[in-house]
Amino acid sequence: MSVQSLTLPRYELLEPGFQLPRRAFQVQRKDLVRYGGAARDYNPIHWDDRTATEFGLPGPIAQGMLTMGLALGYLVEWAGDPGAVVDFGGRFPRLVPVPNDGVGVELSLEATVAEKLEPPRVRVNLAVRLDGAKVLVMPRVIVVLR
């Protein structure tokens, strides 16, 4: 089920524990190059195998902000308003190596309404995983609902 097919969330109908539908994102090496160009991040550890391994990485890795951007886009889509996410932070406990095999890696996203704050704000717990391991955790995401 895509987020777009969901009815927009309403503050009064949500309760803590509400789980957003899980979402998967396929990330390929070409996505790293495209994001790098758009973000003006030309660091070769994100696209060049030799440079990445010279720096002790398993290979080129996804930009942390690309991973965070995928998660943010998902929440914005769910809320139905690009201005709905008013506080967003996180950390990257693991790298996201992306092979140059035309397939890439699949990142899965999980989100749960953790707390209802002053109406119409909710705090959402969010995690992005690669092969079950968290690669992005966000202890503080605040979304303003309609």
Q: What is the pLDDT at residue 8?
A: 87
Asked if residue 52 belongs to a domain, the reply is no
**Domain assignment of residue 96, given as a range:** 10-27+62-144
User: What's the number of domains the chain is made of?
Assistant: 1
Asked if residue 84 belongs to a domain, the reply is yes
Asked if residue 47 belongs to a domain, the reply is no
- Residue 10 amino acid letter: R
Asked if residue 73 belongs to a domain, the reply is yes
As given in the structure block, the two tokens for residue 103 are 């397939």
Q: What is the pLDDT at residue 4?
A: 47
Asked if residue 102 belongs to a domain, the reply is yes
Tell me the CATH number at 133: 3.10.129.10
Q: What is the mean pLDDT of residues 97-119?
A: 97
pTM: 0.89
Element (DSSP H or E) covering residue 21: none
Q: What is the mean pLDDT of residues 47-52?
A: 97
- In this predicted model, what pLDDT tens digit does every residue of 2-41 receive, in sequence order? 444 457 899 999 999 999 999 999 999 999 999 999 999 9
| Contact between residue 110 and residue 127 where contact means Cβ atoms under 8 Å apart | yes
Q: Which residue has the higher pLDDT, 140 or 72?
A: 72
Asked if residue 110 belongs to a domain, the reply is yes
Q: What is the mean pLDDT of residues 86-107?
A: 96
As given in the structure block, the two tokens for residue 56 are 């002790």
Asked if residue 53 belongs to a domain, the reply is no
Cβ-based neighbour number of residue 74 at 10 Å: 19
Asked if residue 94 belongs to a domain, the reply is yes
